[in-house]
Amino acid sequence: MVIRYNQFKFSVFILIVVLLKEIVDSYMSKVYSIREFTDRCLRTERWNGNVVLMVMDAAFTSIGLNYFTVVVPKVVEFKKTFIDTGRIKNLRDLALFDINEMRRIWKNRRSLVVSKEIASYLSSLNLDDRKALRYWAKNSVLSEWKSDPIGSIKGVGLVTYQYLRMMGGVDTIMPDKVVKKVINEILIKAGYKPVNDDMVFIKKAEEIAISCGYRPIELCWMTWFVQQEGELMRLEKYAEFLDKI
């Protein structure tokens, strides 16, 4: 009797896992070229490999405004005003740059302070910006994020911390509201309970991705791209920006 019950439980488990994969596959099938975008992120090549712009992206994103309609255009404006003109060449320049000048582009002082403090720490690790970000990301530990030199910066939450780790080459998930909404939606459809605690959510989402044959970062990017805005998914609506990010 016990053996039959265990066999039944195992059969149910297999069915749920199969269902979960089918559901995840149905979402992933909507986002073409997802590997291209995520490979670029893991190689620290977003924004044409400019780490200053990656830091600005993370800092601007940290206050919760729409990524494609607000953050991306402002990062582009920052690039034209300060990067293309040679006024900011690297993270060290960003760390020392006049914040009032930067406020011409972005009014929120807190996120600008965050960007400068991140730049200050990373530039102390290596004069090569890309090597600095990747070194930090590789040696960062999620469970100790609050005591991390970047995680402990006022204004850097877990979402920003994870976002920077991803751009530094770590295959993981950031628990922002969109990612949690979509992945919890998937869990509910598959018969699981939603996960609200951020740390538990990250681990659960990573497990889902791997068990379904995807990288965690691919699952993360999928949640952003499948969002509908009007009649189009973000992947289609903001196609003009995708070569930048």
The confidence score (pLDDT) of residue 7 equals 46
In a domain, 2, yes or no: no
The total of structural domains in the chain comes to: 2
CATH number of the domain that residue 99 is part of: 1.10.340
14 — phi, psi (to 5°)?
A: -60, -40
Q: What percent of the chain has pLDDT over 70?
A: 88
In a domain, 15, yes or no: no
Assess contact for 157 and 188: CB atoms under 8 A: no
Question: How far is 87 from 105, CA to CA, in rounded Å?
Answer: 14
In a domain, 178, yes or no: yes
- Comparing 11-25, 47-61, 156-170, the range with the smallest average pLDDT is 11-25
Question: What value does the mean pLDDT take over residues 171-188?
Answer: 96
- 191 and 118 both lie in a single domain: no
- 223 and 154 both lie in a single domain: no
Is the pLDDT at 208 greater than 80, yes or no? yes
- 34 and 69 both lie in a single domain: no
The confidence score (pLDDT) of residue 133 equals 98
Is the pLDDT at 168 greater than 90, yes or no? yes
- 30 and 60 both lie in a single domain: no
Question: How far is 242 from 155, CA to CA, in rounded Å?
Answer: 27
The confidence score (pLDDT) of residue 13 equals 42
Range of the domain at 157: 48-167
Is the pLDDT at 15 greater than 90, yes or no? no
- 108 and 210 both lie in a single domain: no
Question: How far is 167 from 191, CA to CA, in rounded Å?
Answer: 32
pTM over 0.75: yes
Among 167, 187, 210, residue at a domain's last position:
167
In a domain, 5, yes or no: no
Assess contact for 55 and 115: CB atoms under 8 A: yes
Provide the pLDDT confidence category of residue 5 given band limits of 50, 70 and 90. Answer: very low
Is the pLDDT at 195 greater than 70, yes or no? yes
The confidence score (pLDDT) of residue 27 equals 94
- 229: β partners: 232
Is the pLDDT at 68 greater than 90, yes or no? no
Is the pLDDT at 232 greater than 70, yes or no? no
In a domain, 229, yes or no: yes
The confidence score (pLDDT) of residue 61 equals 94
- 157 and 176 both lie in a single domain: no
Among 132, 167, 202, residue at a domain's last position:
167
Is the pLDDT at 188 greater than 90, yes or no? yes
pLDDT, the chain, mean: 90
- Comparing 68-77, 118-127, 137-146, 200-209, the range with the smallest average pLDDT is 68-77
The confidence score (pLDDT) of residue 8 equals 40
